[in-house]
Amino acid sequence: MLDSAMLATAVRDEDGRIVDFVVDYIKPVAEIGQRPAEEIVGRRFLDVWPSAAGSPIWGMMLYLMETGEPITLDNFVYSEVIDGRAVTAAFDIRMTRLGDGFLDNFRDVTERYRVQQDLEASERRFRSALDALMDPFFMFVPVRDGQGKIVDLEFQFVNEAAERLYQMPRQDIVGHGLLELFPSGRELGIWDTYLEPIKTGTPARVDLPYFDEHGVKGLFEVSLTPGDEGLIISARDVSEARQAQEALQASEKRFRSALDALMDPFFILGPVRDDQGKIVELEYRYVNRAAERLYQMPRQDIVGHGLTELFPSVRELGIWDTYVESIETGTTARTDSPYFNEHGVAGLFELSVTPGDEGLLVAARDVSEARQAQEALRASEERFRTSVEALQDGFAVFSAIRDSAGVIADFRYEYINEAGCRMDQRSREDTVGHTLTELFPASVTSGLLAAYALVAETGEPLTREDVDYEDVYGGRRVSRALDIRVVKLGDGIVATWRDVAERRRAEETMTRQAVALRRNAAELEDRVRERTADLVRSNQELASFGHSVAHDLRAPLRAIDGYCQILLDEHAAQLDEDGQVLLGDVGRYAVRMGHLIEGMLALARIGRKDLGHVRIDMTALAESVVTDLRRGHAGAWPAIAVGQLADASGAPELIRQVWENLIGNAVKFSANQPDAQVSVESQEAAGEVIYHVRDNGVGFDMAYAGKLFGVFQRLHPADFPGTGIGLAIVARIVERLGGRVWAEGRVGDGACFSFALPAPSTENGETP
């Protein structure tokens, strides 16, 4: 409800006496001058509101600062001359001491105050009107005995004319009984006359003479109206009656106009009682325009109708009880009530309920917006508090403690969050209310206090990282490294801090590890580089060694073969037959060794060859290999069937070698069979193409299948020529192209050599 707030800090003279306050913060939703906050913050209280100096509030504020006793004021009316214009407003105020200053939560209740004023004024006017009547007017309530029998009628109200008539001041009449004051009334028949309308409930009009000790004072036309609570009597002097009635009507009209002018709904409810006097209904006696607008009904549809008749839910809402209690006890009440229309809640109203002569006066004020704002404020404050509590960092609010000279001597903890307590290893109860130097004596010598004071004095935020801080608390010497950030708040500061020792240790460890790691990595890299260079070098050396060995061996082998041949050609006569055969063998073995060397060179060359990735028409390639083999072949030739082969991708010259070796082998190992047949086929599988070269030749024992593709491995050394390197070349090539090679066979029942290559991609395929 208190939607405005102000924080102020005391300004003291040399003797420590408060001479003024400085406004640190204001949320001027309802500041009397409606001035923006920046016009007020930083200024002195009495500069902004000079009239406060002469107002009782000033004394209360000093008392508050002295004792800490909070101030609670409702309807505090305050006037100020602002910009040459007198402004009056009313406030509800809750003022509490905060540090060396105060927090003032307040709310502008001027409007509510005005309604009350208006009501009071209108009531006054009403009374004045009655007073203005020339005719006596009074109201009675019955006084009953234990049996409920009316034993007297007590004056509740008398007007001036009645005073004059009775020649007694009002206070001597009101509260007293008719029979008590005028014992003769019973004899004169007045008692019975007055009692009759109360008993029957019907108004009466009688003419009565009025007597005093001097005799008859006059004849009055007396109007007797039984009310819910008593009897209203107007004794009319016939000659002056009309005039008085007109005056009354005028007064009531003014009263009604005033109520209609109100922006807030206002209505009067009259109680309807049952036989036992219990209120069973509250009947609308009057509604103002604002109420018509609220109910969205014309006045005539409301007045005369019951509250529960129009709004059955009021009983559940508790409003009914409030109203009834107000009537029965005669006390004013204030309550909040939601107002529903057919669409749901239309608003929240603050109801001011005042029992009056006419009935229950109800002034409603729409506070939905104010309430929502307050809810939002509370939610925001809770969010803030929760956030602060959730922080991993320490968070504390300090108020400045100033010495008599106004110099900051210390700071007092006003608030600390959970993380702060944890880091300080001290509970919140042991912290809040205590001072900085009390809890951390070293803050004086370390300059921390001075730095904080500077923040509080200048408003310049302080940020310090890696502050090394040593202190004794809990009897232990504790060394801490902190990141600290401090900002000014009011006459005080807010500090957040973070223990960085852990982080620093982690960072140092990490740095050490990183350095070591980098060093290790560098060493490792160097070593790898060295080793790689070594390997490359030794590989190159090996390759060139192998190459030159192979190269250099060929010439002497050729020479051996050559000279053997020349010997046989030109000097055969000097050798016997055996010698000639031996010489022929020498040549042949030399040639064979030459072929082995050629094979090794070929195998070595595969590793150096670039792998092409052109699309290869395998049918054409295999057929061309068959043709070439046929041309260089002497002896029996098998029937070779090359089927339609799937395309492959790779280096054509390498794959040609694969075909040469596989088809060449098939020919070699089947040629001597009767009805020798070799077939070449392909099949496409998932992501690869598989090629088979099948023959019905001598076959092989599957037990040796694993040896087939090794270098210099031969299964048929005696019967078939060969170097034992062909299949090694095949395996090497196929593996280099990302494929695989295998063989199946049975002794005497042929063999099938297969190789699989990755299927060529369709888009970049290119036929060579």
- What's the min distance (Å) between Cβ of 602 and another protein? 9
Residue in the block written with tokens 């927090």: 103
Q: Give the CA count within 13 Å in the CB-facing half-sphere of 52.
A: 18
- Decide whether 278 or 588 has the Cβ nearer to another protein: 588
Binding of residue 726 to another protein (CB under 8 A): no
Binding of residue 633 to another protein (CB under 8 A): no
First to last CA, the chain: 91
Binding of residue 591 to another protein (CB under 8 A): yes
Beta carbons of 118 and 262 less than 8 angstroms apart: yes
- Decide whether 101 or 599 has the Cβ nearer to another protein: 599
Tokens standing for residue 332: 């004013």
Binding segment (CB under 8 A) for another protein, from list 317-325, 538-546, 590-598, 665-673: 590-598
Binding segment (CB under 8 A) for another protein, from list 150-158, 167-175, 321-329, 592-600: 592-600
Binding of residue 551 to another protein (CB under 8 A): yes
CA pair distance 517, 519, nearest whole angstrom = 5
Classify residue 755 as exposed, middle or buried by CB count within 10 Å of its CB (0-12, 13-18, 19+): buried
Classify residue 355 as exposed, middle or buried by CB count within 10 Å of its CB (0-12, 13-18, 19+): buried
Residue 463, H or E segment: strand 462-473
Binding segment (CB under 8 A) for another protein, from list 89-97, 406-414, 538-546, 554-562: 554-562
- What's the min distance (Å) between Cβ of 541 and another protein? 17
- What's the min distance (Å) between Cβ of 522 and another protein? 39
Strand order in the sheet with 751-758: 639-642, 677-685, 688-695, 751-758, 740-745
CA dist 287 → 119, 261, 265, 297 (Å): 14, 12, 8, 10
Binding of residue 598 to another protein (CB under 8 A): yes
- Decide whether 589 or 742 has the Cβ nearer to another protein: 589
- What's the min distance (Å) between Cβ of 508 and another protein? 59
- Decide whether 44 or 554 has the Cβ nearer to another protein: 554
Residue in the block written with tokens 């969050």: 417
Q: How many residues bind another protein (CB under 8 A)?
A: 21
Binding of residue 595 to another protein (CB under 8 A): yes
SS (H, E, C) 86-134: EEEEEEEEEEEECCCEEEEEEEECHHHHHHHHHHHHHHHHHHHHHHHCC
Residue in the block written with tokens 């018509």: 292
Residues 6+ apart with CB under 8 A from 464: 451, 482, 483, 484, 485
Binding of residue 736 to another protein (CB under 8 A): no
Classify residue 182 as exposed, middle or buried by CB count within 10 Å of its CB (0-12, 13-18, 19+): middle
Binding of residue 559 to another protein (CB under 8 A): yes
- Decide whether 144 or 551 has the Cβ nearer to another protein: 551
Binding of residue 92 to another protein (CB under 8 A): no
- What's the min distance (Å) between Cβ of 725 and another protein? 14
Tokens standing for residue 93: 């105020």
Single-letter residue type at 523? E
Binding of residue 325 to another protein (CB under 8 A): no
Backbone angles phi, psi at 525, to 5 degrees: -60, -45
Interface positions, 650-689, toward another protein (CB under 8 A)? none
CA pair distance 734, 655, nearest whole angstrom = 8
Beta bridge partners of 708: none
Binding of residue 571 to another protein (CB under 8 A): no
Contact with another protein (CB under 8 A) among 285, 554, 714, 740: 554
- What's the min distance (Å) between Cβ of 626 and another protein? 23
Binding of residue 564 to another protein (CB under 8 A): yes
Binding of residue 556 to another protein (CB under 8 A): yes
Please work out, in degrees rounded to the nearest 5, the angle formed at the alpha carbon of residue 537 by the alpha carbons of 534 and 541: 135
- Decide whether 39 or 585 has the Cβ nearer to another protein: 585
- What's the min distance (Å) between Cβ of 545 and another protein? 15
Binding of residue 393 to another protein (CB under 8 A): no
CA pair distance 204, 188, nearest whole angstrom = 17
- Decide whether 300 or 548 has the Cβ nearer to another protein: 548
- Decide whether 432 or 593 has the Cβ nearer to another protein: 593
Binding of residue 565 to another protein (CB under 8 A): yes
CA pair distance 527, 7, nearest whole angstrom = 71
Binding segment (CB under 8 A) for another protein, from list 237-245, 266-274, 524-532, 561-569: 561-569
- What's the min distance (Å) between Cβ of 564 and another protein? 8
Contact with another protein (CB under 8 A) among 108, 154, 561, 647: 561
CA pair distance 93, 109, nearest whole angstrom = 10
Contact with another protein (CB under 8 A) among 351, 353, 597, 642: 597
- Decide whether 35 or 595 has the Cβ nearer to another protein: 595
Binding segment (CB under 8 A) for another protein, from list 93-101, 124-132, 584-592, 620-628: 584-592
- Decide whether 33 or 612 has the Cβ nearer to another protein: 612
Binding of residue 23 to another protein (CB under 8 A): no
CA pair distance 720, 117, nearest whole angstrom = 132
Residues 6+ apart with CB under 8 A from 531: none
Q: Which DSSP category does 760 fall into?
A: P
Binding of residue 189 to another protein (CB under 8 A): no
Binding segment (CB under 8 A) for another protein, from list 345-353, 564-572, 574-582, 641-649: 564-572
Binding of residue 582 to another protein (CB under 8 A): no
- What's the min distance (Å) between Cβ of 652 and another protein? 13
Binding of residue 599 to another protein (CB under 8 A): no
- Decide whether 554 or 656 has the Cβ nearer to another protein: 554
Question: Can you spell out the DSSP letters for 38-90?
Answer: GGTTTSBHHHH-GGGGGSHHHHHHHHHHHH-PPEEEEEEEEEEEETTEEEEEE
Contact with another protein (CB under 8 A) among 490, 587, 739, 745: 587
CA pair distance 414, 461, nearest whole angstrom = 19
- What's the min distance (Å) between Cβ of 695 and another protein? 27
Binding of residue 614 to another protein (CB under 8 A): no
- What's the min distance (Å) between Cβ of 512 and another protein? 54
Residue 416, H or E segment: strand 408-416
- Decide whether 594 or 760 has the Cβ nearer to another protein: 594
- Decide whether 601 or 747 has the Cβ nearer to another protein: 601
Contact with another protein (CB under 8 A) among 70, 562, 579, 710: 562
Interface ranges with another protein (CB under 8 A): 551, 554-559, 561-566, 587, 590-591, 594-595, 597-598, 605
